[in-house]
Amino acid sequence: MKTKAFLLILILAILHNLVCNGQNLPDRSRMFRIETTDGNIYTGSIVSEDQSILVLKTDRLGEIRIRQADIKSRIELKQVKEIAGQIWLPNPQSSRYFWAPNGYGLEEGKSYYQNIWVLYNQFSFGISNNVSMGVGILPLFLFAGTSTPAWIVPKISIPVVRDKVNIGTGAFLGTVIGEEVGAIGLLYETTTFGSRDKNVSLGFAYGFADGEWMDKPIINISTLLRIGPKGYLISENYIIPYAKEIYTYYTGFKAKNTAAVILSLGGRSIIRNIGLDYSLWIPINAELDTFIAAPFLGITVPIGKKKPAI
């Protein structure tokens, strides 16, 4: 009996020791992005850490020791893929194409600043995983007090089938500061098929101005395809039903066609954690007697820091 009691106590002691020590062991399957105060960024799993030193296992550098005092931010990467020996980080700007939104939402607590050709400025932030808000401005007041467009962009994202089908709906609501005009904008819906790294979206939007609504929608067809650890191929395209009226208004000449198509093709490169967007936009309409390819250039910069995942 004494022997059995001794063995039972010994087994319980071993199990207790394993459980207690196991609680302090890092989970090697969890990946982290560590940014230091000198601007370096490392990605890997945490081997060990104490109050002074964190040991990170990386693919290229092996195990490295980082002082806790030198860590600027630590973010857990929950959707890391390893393809052909390379780590593919999560898509940092997966809720939109160049300009058009898709069905995916901006995650709670995340925010970013988007700039297109210097003048277009928009700040977006995730209120929850399904609700986000953006505010933007074209600061034309800097040019002799010119009237300035400003807008807000609320968005709701609804996951239908996880990572396969997502619905996004929202609005682009704007006005022109310095002008006596009412609200102008768009109400839209878009359905996205595919993951955050590879998808196609079909959407439509109804515009309004001064209380009057379009009776035909603008149709949007866009796609995104990840082609490398930090590269994406993007195409954003529109069918605009009111090309005839727009063309006549701006040129004074009557147009025959009632619709136009705008095509775009380009990509996105992730440089550190900043997204660089670039593309060419091509309008197609029988009234155009020359080929036009307008360049697009924009950047997206994450703002703020998420709470460290410890």
pLDDT at 308: 40
Which has more pLDDT, 39 or 220? 220
Task: Judge if pTM exceeds 0.85.
Answer: no
pLDDT at 10: 56
pLDDT digits (tens, 9 = 90+) for 235-259: 999 998 865 554 454 445 455 556 7
Alpha helices (H) in 161-261, listed in sequence order:
243-251
Domain 111-302 of CATH type 2.40.160.40: yes
pLDDT at 292: 87
What would the mean pLDDT of 157-179 be, rounded to a whole number?
93
E runs forming strands in 127-217:
131-137, 148-161, 165-177, 184-194, 198-209, 212-213
pLDDT at 115: 95
Could you tell me if 168 and 156 are in contact, meaning their C-beta atoms sit under 8 angstroms apart? Answer: yes
The CA distances from residue 79 to 112, 166, 195, 256, 262, in Å, are 19, 18, 12, 50, 34
Query: Residue 54 has what DSSP assignment?
Result: E
CA 85 to chain centre: 25
What would the mean pLDDT of 259-288 be, rounded to a whole number?
88
Which has more pLDDT, 81 or 155? 155
Query: Residue 196 has what DSSP assignment?
Result: S
The CA distances from residue 239 to 173, 204, 222, in Å, are 21, 9, 11
Could you tell me if 196 and 91 are in contact, meaning their C-beta atoms sit under 8 angstroms apart? Answer: yes
Which tokens sit at 120? 């277009």
Using the predicted structure, report yes or no on whether residue 307 has a pLDDT greater than 50: no
pLDDT at 309: 38
The CA distances from residue 234 to 105, 200, 269, 307, in Å, are 18, 10, 11, 31
Which has more pLDDT, 28 or 290? 290
Q: How confident is the model at residue 282 (pLDDT cuts 50, 70, 90)?
A: very high
What would the mean pLDDT of 7-28 be, rounded to a whole number?
51
The CATH T-level fold of domain 2-78 is: SH3 type barrels. (2.30.30)
pLDDT at 12: 54
pLDDT at 42: 86
pLDDT at 234: 98
pLDDT at 109: 87
Which has more pLDDT, 126 or 273? 126
Q: How confident is the model at residue 39 (pLDDT cuts 50, 70, 90)?
A: confident
Domain boundaries, given as residue ranges, for the chain: 2-78, 111-302
Using the predicted structure, report yes or no on whether residue 70 has a pLDDT greater than 70: yes
